[in-house]
Amino acid sequence: MSTVVAIGNFDGVHLGHQSVLTEAMKLSDSPLVVITFWPHPTSVLRPDKAPKLLGDLTTRIELLRSVGAREVRVVNFTEAVADLSPSEFVERFVLPLDPVRVVVGENFRFGKRAAGDVTELQRLGEGHFEVVPLALESVNDIVTCSTSIRALLAEGDVAAAAQHLGRPFRVRGVVQMGDQRGRELGYPTANLPVPGDMAVPADGVYAGWLTGTDGVRLPAAISVGSNPTFHGVDRRVETYVLDRTDLELYGEEIQVEFIDRLRGQVRFDDMDQLVMQMHKDVERVRVALGL
């Protein structure tokens, strides 16, 4: 069966990626097969320069399928794969899919030392498949790419990041037991550790949503950081669901969406100051979420 193939890293499956997949589906009734790479090539070739990822592999596959991919082929990126010439790459990963068209971003590079570009892909595809290169997407004159989204998150600008992603930035994981100080203060939180290889917004307090395994989306105040008031060390995402002290989420996988940044992290001198600020944060969350 012939296919339409889209190739890319697709970290974050942002608006630029979505446009590639949408255009690919318009070009043919053939099923869309996506080729993506894991781990990130830079983490293999230059581990010291490895970018923080916008999502794990499971999330990436789910997003790609939600946009229309019939099948997702994950290439295990190794030094041996990196050493393939452009022609070897096409012979090994592309031609077996019997593509009628291959859709990529106009800046697509492949093969050893990124020697292959769109022109080379077109040459290698002669007699086999058509190559459709797509211009990059932009939002407010800023090119949409995973790198720019990471930079926005590092600044805490989750609203701008969402514009490029086409949805709120999300993290997910299994809730772990924390220090339980929030429970003592009347603001129990669901605690997620921050994986070292994953992107998270800058330290601070955010308005957002928590979704559990039941699929119910609950309004939440989200703190990212190491809890400076209590001299914490490890960075965590701590999420308090508004007006709920009855939730038991330990061991449950949750998803946390970031909508707007309220403030940076602050170290408070006493508990009364902290509780007063938490109360103010909750009220600002209500406004930010339109509650």
Is residue 181's pLDDT more than 80?
no
Tell me what percent of the residues of the chain surpass a pLDDT of 70.
94
Please give the average per-residue pLDDT across 37-57, as a whole number: 95
Please give the average per-residue pLDDT across 103-129, as a whole number: 95
Residue 197 near residue 173 (C-beta atoms within 8 A): no
Report the mean per-residue pLDDT for the chain: 91
Residue 210 near residue 218 (C-beta atoms within 8 A): yes
* pTM as predicted: 0.92
**Distance separating alpha carbons of residues 191 and 250, to the nearest angstrom:** 9
Question: pLDDT for 139-177, tens place per residue?
Answer: 988 899 999 999 999 999 999 999 999 999 999 999 997
Higher pLDDT, 272 or 233: 272
Task: Give 226's pLDDT tier (boundaries 50, 70, 90).
Answer: confident
State how far the alpha carbon of 93 is from the alpha carbons of 56, 67, 125, 260, 285, in Å. Answer: 22, 22, 13, 41, 47
Is residue 268's pLDDT more than 80?
no
